[in-house]
A and B are shown apart, each in its own frame.
Chain A
Amino acid sequence: MSNSKILANGVDVYYGSKQALFGISMDIKEKEVTALIGPSGCGKSTFLRCINRMNDLIEICKVSGSIKVDNEEIISEKTDVVSLRSKIGMVFQKPNPFPKSIFDNVAYGPTIHGLVDSKNELEEIVHSSLKKAGLFDEVKDRLNEPGTSLSGGQQQRLCIARAIAVNPEIILMDEPCSALDPIATAIIEELIDELRLNYTIIIVTHSMQQAARVSQKTCFFHLGELIETGETNKIFTNPDNTKTQDYITGRFG
């Protein structure tokens, strides 16, 4: 049995006076894929963005409660957000490569964190990250071309390579395939399955098939509350809660 990597307890989130999350408590295990599912606006992305404090960017957003990563509290004034975010990579809904070369996109993180001492070392990290993201063979001859010139699926894998280049322990994925076609989606899903061996992954998805395919644990959100959480197999075959049952059978959402 693996250990608890992220432990959330009673997380409330407010946007201004509107409450978006109601007392979310969750236990996420190391080196597993956890899928967050639920209808639009249910708070699953909001919760994801609490884990790396991305909600700080939204002025009116207030987070309370407790989230512990490796037993360290992160919902606190004292948290070092920069090192937290270097430990928790994030992949966004829309591929968002920087308007720089493919190489520079991946090299960005290691450079700003001072992870490398020499050019060779940097090159090594860039190459290995691209390999881990399954992109290296497709782009090895054109590392100096802009990242924005790649196709959507390649861009998304570039963003994954960029995230893993700083050697994070956790990767957050916010609907990483929603802007991609089925083939690119299948490639990313395969990639997620491989990455699971080395990283703890939390993925927000609208596609229940995707959740069923890639995740070991599934959490069902509805109207800002965590309705049910459990083994993916169980949630999709024999959920405890009728709301979960209704959602996965397509009765609402």
Chain B
Amino acid sequence: MFFWSLVLIAVGIFSSFIYGRSRINLNSKKQGTKSKSLPTYYAQYVLIWCLFPALIVYFSWAIFQEQIIQNIVISNFEYIEGAVYNEGLLLAEIRNVANNPSFADGKSIEIINAAAHYSSLRQISQISFYTSIIIIMLLGALYASQKLKPEFHAQHTIEKYIQYILIFCSSVAIFTTIGIVFSLIFESLRFFAEVSIFEFLFSTEWYPFIPIREGQTAAEGSFGAVPIFAGTFLVMVVAMCVAAPLGLLTAIYLAEYASQRVRKIVKPLLEILAGIPTIVYGFFAFVSVAPFVKAFGQSIGIDASPTSALAAGMVMGVMIIPFISSLSDDVINSVPQSLREASLGIGANKAETIKKVILPAALPGIVGAFLLAISRAIGETMIVVVAAGTAPNLTGNPFENVTTVTVQIVVALIGDQEFDNPRTLSAFALGLVLFVITLFLNIIALQIVKRYRERYE
């Protein structure tokens, strides 16, 4: 069905274009005047009218067809008196029988009848799908061809349509974001119906297991997320301790000291760091850095665990260096040259100029870069999954196992889980917290950067 409908639409596109072009040429020849726009715009006009209504029908059919058929089948189902049905299971059974008649053996007559009904409905639906697509395309082309007169400004109309299409495309991302936010909020509400929001935000015990059988005493779940937030914060602090000085000093070198040639080579190299998949950083952290951290901890008499906040944080710090260095470099570069000249002209040396004039002027932008890096750090998943551990320890000791929000989301969603118990739903609550925090960091950072930009332009 899918393939043939694409062929149908392709034929529609091609023929409507050809038709539109030849028709306008014919019309203008008949009237003996030149058309107001080039013939190709009239062709595009016919094409758009032929294609887009058909596409709308196509997608609404694809979205609603199955649902409508199922509703009809269920509402016509001959229920047996007294029997209890699970609607989802029943539908699955009917579909199975309809798609594969060999499953019919041993099924009740009601199911077999319903399956036949289901199949016939699908057939009707398909036939009417093709006919309605064809009719819609023809109607569209017919409507458009009425307008194919030389005095019609096809180009203006096309430009208006193109604007609508662009608006639609750019709104896709926005509506997706809104959809994600709503799904996060609604699932989180389901979680908070079972676990109190105060326990989640302020209690210090994270033990996200729920009884599978009745009377399973050992498995009373508790959902205090404080250790998780603390772990996230600890890893983030370690990462920023690495990335902030290294990134900022790199930026100062690149912007103020490096020659054009060095800059041209080093900046892209640094940006490659940002392109390494984070899982690669993850196993680098686990295989190389974590053992080193453990050995180092032992050499100074601290009992370090094989995965630690320090290992994960350090590698994450390296990962976000390019964010800080690249953004700060841009900011430092946008400090006007006249300020450098003013400072140097008074007899300040380079270090004084950077310390007392350039950095204060660039500070808001640099803070913005730091905030963006932080929001990147707390949203980062793979490095911490591999290298920080999964134990929810409430600790300030970076040599210990900690866990982060992102890790716990992964843990909650792994395995064969139904989305109806607090353990799985906790992922959404954690996700919501993460989203809110990074959203605020990003908004603040962008505001700061923007205000800074305005001052010098």
Contact = CB atoms under 8 A, between A and B. Distances in A.
B260 A99 contact: no
B339 to A, nearest CB: 6
Given A59-B259, A99-B455, A86 B342 contact: no
Nearest to B338: A96
9 contacts: A59-B260, A82-B347, A84-B347, A85-B344, A92-B342, A96-B341, A108-B348, A112-B347, A159-B342
What are the 3 tightest A-B residue pairs by CB atom distance, in nearest-first order?
Answer: A86-B347, A96-B338, A85-B347
Nearest to B349: A82
Interface of B: 259-260, 336, 338-349, 352, 356-357, 360-361, 455
A109 B338 contact: no
A98 B347 contact: no
B391 to A, nearest CB: 48
Contacts of B346: 85-86, 89, 108-109, 112, 162-163, 166
Contacts of B360: 99-100
A166 B344 CA distance: 13
A53 to B, nearest CB: 9
A86 B343 CA distance: 11
Given A59-B260, A98-B357, A99-B361, A54 B341 contact: yes
Given A98-B339, A99-B360, A163 B345 contact: yes
Contact of B345 (A89, A97, A113): A89
Contacts of A84: 347
A183 interface: no
Given A108-B343, A109-B347, A92 B338 contact: yes
A52 B342 CA distance: 12
A202 interface: no
Contacts of B352: 112
B341 A83 contact: no
For B346, B349, B357, B361, the residue with the greatest tally of chain A CB atoms inside 10 Å of its CB is B346
Q: How large is the interface on A (under 10, 10 to 19, 20 to 34, 35 or more residues)?
A: 20 to 34
A54 B357 CA distance: 17
A85 B344 CA distance: 8
Given A59-B260, A90-B341, A108-B348, 5 more contacts: A85-B346, A92-B338, A96-B339, A112-B352, A163-B346
B338 to A, nearest CB: 4
A57 interface: yes
B162 to A, nearest CB: 43
A102 B360 CA distance: 15
A57 B341 CA distance: 8
A112 B348 contact: yes
A11 to B, nearest CB: 19
A113 B348 CA distance: 8
B345 A52 contact: yes
A94 interface: yes
B436 to A, nearest CB: 33
B353 to A, nearest CB: 9
A83 B347 contact: yes
Given A98-B339, A112-B352, A90 B357 contact: no
B455 A108 contact: no
Nearest to B355: A112
Nearest to B337: A57
B338 A57 contact: no
Contacts of A57: 340-341, 344
B347 A54 contact: no
Interface string A37-63: 000000000000000101001010000
Interface in A93-124: 94, 96-100, 108-109, 112-113
A100 B360 CA distance: 9
Contacts of A86: 346-347
Nearest to B336: A96
A57 B350 CA distance: 11
Given A98-B361, A100-B360, A54 B345 contact: yes
